[in-house]
Structure 1
Amino acid sequence: MSARNLQLLLETAYDAENPQVFEEGAATVYKQFEEAYRSYIKTNKTTEELNFRFERVRLGMAIAFVKAYTRLSDNETSVEALQILQEAINAKSSKEIDKIVQKKIAVFDNLYHEIFVNEDRQQVLALFEATLDAGSREELDELMIEGLQLLTMIDFEHHAQQDDDDEPLDEDFLKSIQ
């Protein structure tokens, strides 16, 4: 179920069927995490493999939330944050993921400067933050469901039209109609 939820979360965030976030597909990434988790349950030993698979699922969710935020805000900072996460998704270890993200951590702090008074953006960023803080499979699964519920309720088209309406009027145009 959660493999499908991860896929649906990404599809909803990107507004596209099968967005190419993971080379092998989101469902496969989640299933690889489940396999590593089952191995952990049997042996009761945490491995780098489990940590890496967990980080990839968490990154996929973070990408979904930042992509949704980008669709709502359409600003440079969110696009840059998305690019960093997409670069990190190709890392071959947890340490490499951390290195990529930590190198440009200030970009993520800047996301919060541009939320203005927009409840949808605030909620998406709250889920992004909760995803980064998540430390268990259960937390990720719960956040996936919350994310799906939120993203399916947001009217992205309305936000796009609203952003178009917020553009300042051309000064020459204003002078010509006076």
Structure 2
Amino acid sequence: MSEIKFETLIKKALEQENPNLFDKPEAIIYKEFELAEARQRAHRGQTQPGDNLHYKFEKVRLGVAIALMQVFSDMADDNESKKVLDILKRAAKGNSIAQIDAIITKEAKAFDNLYQDLFINDDGEMLLDLFQRTLHAESKAEMDSIIHESLKFLEIIKE
């Protein structure tokens, strides 16, 4: 069920039926993460060979971050948020955590600039709060909660 919420969040935020953020459909990205996470739980915290749990979590985190930044960028209509969105989309194409980190680290200044001289309304503040929580999330439960809150929030502001 959560893969549907993940996919819906991205499609609503990007206003595209096929966003093509990843090398696979969004629902499959989430489902693969969910299966890897379940296998780790079943094996008492031991990561199974080939699961790449951390990489799969990172893909889900990027999907949520892209969705939130897309909505924020549409509202703010500024260069800083568009640049951050572009960085996140490029990172989503990464084939490893190292590649993702390299893309984001190289452009880290853009994330700092996002918050400078920022005057936003309550909706913008809520989006940035969800974005920050996404970047700091460390578990499936946290990501699921953020996805759920983000979907509810998008339903309100996209009416």
TM-score using structure 2 length:
0.91
Aligned to 1:16: 16
Structure 1 residue aligned with 2:128: 125
Cα contact 1:115–1:121 (8 A) shared by 2? no
Instruction: State the distance in 2 between where 1:80 and 1:114 align.
Output: 16
Q: Cα deviations across residues 65-85 of structure 1 (Å, max 9, x unaligned)?
A: 110111101111111111111
- Whether 2:121 is the aligned partner of 1:115: answer no
Identity %: 37
Q: Which runs of 4+ in 1 moved over 4 A?
A: none
1:89 — aligned with what?
A: 92
> Which deviates further from its counterpart, 137-146 or 104-113?
104-113
Contact 2:21 2:93 in 1 (8 A): no
1:71 aligns with 2:69: no
Aligned-residue CA RMSD (Å): 1.6
The gaps in structure 2 that reach 5 residues or longer are: none
Aligned equivalents of 2:157, 2:114: Cα separation in 1: 19
**Number of aligned residues:** 156
Correspondence for 1:2 = 2
Structure-1 separation of matches of 2:30 and 2:94: 16
TM-score of the superposition, structure 1-length normalised?
Answer: 0.82
Q: Which amino acid aligns with 1:92?
A: N
Please state whether the residue corresponding to 2:5 is helix, strand or coil: helix
1:46 aligns to 2:42 (yes or no): no
How far did 1:22 drift? 2.0
1:55 alignment partner, one of 58, 61, 67: 58
